[in-house]
Amino acid sequence: MSSIRLLFVQPVLAGYRLPFLERLAQAPGIELRVAASPRVPGSDFASVVASPSFPLALPPCSGWLGNRLFWQHGLRVPAEWGPGDVAVIPGMPRFLSNFKLFVDASGQGLGVV
């Protein structure tokens, strides 16, 4: 059985999500990658980065229009990923970069949640 590659994207990596992601990373047949910004402009929330066991990208986040809209820079689906792989993208319309990531992931044949 081949592994499923899973990209999990969040605005920030909240501490309460770490146990779930750690368990997911340990599950047989899942290759997990997580992307979350260190901070979101205009927010007190920050990512908890305590040496996770999974690959973690920390793309910077920019705020526009008085922090009403956001862009997480550098979010990408790896070029070698395709059908059978999955991207979990938050449905937050204020994060415009999610729309581009959705289009890119769909275009590469990934399942998008």
* pLDDT tens, position by position, 36-71: 999 999 999 888 877 788 999 999 999 999 999 999
Q: What is the pTM of this model?
A: 0.92
- Give me the sheet containing 111-112, strands edge to edge: 56-57, 30-36, 4-10, 86-88, 111-112
What are the tokens at 74?
A: 């550098």
The SS3 of residue 58 is coil
Taking the mean position of all CA atoms in its chain, how far away is CA 94? 15
Nearest to 92 by CA among 12, 1, 20: 12
